[in-house]
Structure 1
Amino acid sequence: MREGPLETHMIDPFIAWSRMMAAGIDMQATWMRGAETLQASHSVIGARTGMMRDAALFPFKTDYEELGRMVPEKVEAFASSAQTVMRETLAMQGAWATQMQRIGLMMVSGRMPTFAETTTLATQTANYSLGVMTARARLGKGALSPVHRAATGNARRLGKTKKK
C-alpha cells in the first residue's frame, strides 16, 4: 500500500476525495471487465464444447492445438492472478502492521498524547484508510486482468474461426 507524501501533515480533503473517486472508478471498471469475462467465457465454453464433441465424432479432423491450449492458458492466467493477489495482500499486511505499530507506540508511551501526536496519528490513519481502499481496488483489478485477457482473447480468436 502506498501512503501519500504528506503522511504526517493534515490530510487534504480534495486529495482524499480524489483518491476515493479514483478507487471507485477502478472498482466499477473491474466490475465491467468481470461482466465481459463472463460473457467471453460463455462463448469460449460453447465453442470448445462443440470442438470436444466434434473431436469425439471425428478424431482425425480435430484442432488439437486449440484443445491443447485449454489447460495451460488457465494455469498461466490463474497463476498470474494469484501472484497479484499475494503481492497486494502482503503490501496491505505491511501497511496494517505499520499502522498498528503507530497506535501501539502511542498506547505504551505512558502518557496522554499531545495534540500534535493525536493530529499526526489521525492523519496517518486517514491516509492508511485511503491506502486500503486504493489497494483493494488494485487487488481486484490485478486479480481479474490476466483472466479477462485470456477469456476475451479466446473469444475473439474462436469467434473468428467460427465465422470462417
Structure 2
Amino acid sequence: MKSTDLPAAMFFPIGLWLGVASKTQEMLLASSQVIATRSARMASAGPLPSAADQREFALMGSEKLDAFSQSAAALGRAWTPAVQTLNAQALQGWLAIMNNAFALAGSRTPAQAMRRHKTLVSTVMRRAPTLQRASDAAARVTHSALAPVHRTATANARRLGSAKKTSRR
C-alpha cells in the first residue's frame, strides 16, 4: 500500500457505516412521507374508501411483509458461517483487549504498568485487523438487510409523491 492510500484506507470503514446511516436516513424520510400521504388518504377516504383507496390500503400490509421477508432472507444470506467466525474472533479480540486494559488499570508499580501497557498495545496491534474485518462485515450485513426495506420505502415515496403531483394538476 502506498502512503498516499493510507487516508482512504483509514476512512473506508467509516465510509461503510456512513453508507448504512445514509440509507437509513433516506428510508426514514421516505417512510415518513409515505405515512403522511397514506394517513391523509385514509382520513379523506372516510368509512367508505374507493376501490383505489382499498387497493392502496391493502398494499400497505402486503408490501411490509414482503420487504421484511426479503430483509430477513438477505440477512440470512449475508450472515454466513464465515461472518459468524469473524465475529467470534472479534469478540475474542475485544475481550483480550479489555482484559489487558483492566490489568493495566490495576497496576501497582510503574514497572508493572509499563509491562502491562506494552502487552495492551501489542494485543491491540495484533487484534486490530480482525476487529476491522468484523466491523466491515457487520456494515455489509446491515446494508444487505436494510436494502429491501429501503427500496420499498423510497419506491413508495416516489410513487405516492408523483400520484399527488398528478392529482393536483
Q: Could you say which TM-score interval applies, normalised by the shorter chain?
A: 0.5 to 0.7
Name the CA distance, whole Å, in 1 between partners of 2:152 and 2:44: 23
Partner AA of 2:55 in structure 1: E
Q: Where does structure 2 lack aligned partners over 5 or more consecutive residues?
A: 92-123
Letter aligned with residue 148 of structure 2? P
Q: Is 1:40 aligned with 2:30?
A: yes
1:160 aligns with 2:162: yes
1:67 aligns with 2:75: no
Aligned to 2:85: 94
Residues 15-164 of structure 1 mapped to structure 2, 5 A cutoff: 18-60=8-50, 62-90=52-80, 91-96=82-87, 125-164=127-166
Query: Contact between 1:26 and 1:137, CA under 8 Å: does it hold in 2?
Result: yes
Provide TM-score, normalisation by structure 1: 0.65
Whether the aligned pair in 2 keeps the contact of 1:27 and 1:137 (CA below 8 Å) is: yes
| 5+ long unaligned stretches in structure 1 | 1-10, 101-121
Q: Distance in 1 between matches of 2:90 and 2:139?
A: 20
1:17–1:79 distance in 2 versus 1, CA, 3 Å: farther
> TM (normalized to structure 2)?
0.63
Q: How many residues align?
A: 135
CA deviation after TM superposition for structure 1 residue 80, in Å: 1.9
Larger RCO: 1 or 2 (CA < 8 Å, sep 6+)? 1
> Is residue 84–residue 143 contact of structure 1 (8 Å, CA) maintained in 2?
yes
One-letter amino acid of the structure 2 residue matched with residue 131 of structure 1: R
Counterpart Cα distance in 2 of 1:43 and 1:137: 26
Task: Give the counterpart letter for 1:129 in structure 2.
Answer: L
Root-mean-square deviation (CA, aligned residues, Å) is 3.3
Please give the alpha-carbon distance, in whole angstroms, between the structure 2 residues aligned to 1:139 and 1:79.
Answer: 15
Deviations 1:55-103 (A, max 9, x none): 3344346432222211121112112222233344443213345789xxx
Aligned to 2:46, what secondary structure does the other structure show?
helix
Secondary structure of the residue aligned to 1:59 is: coil
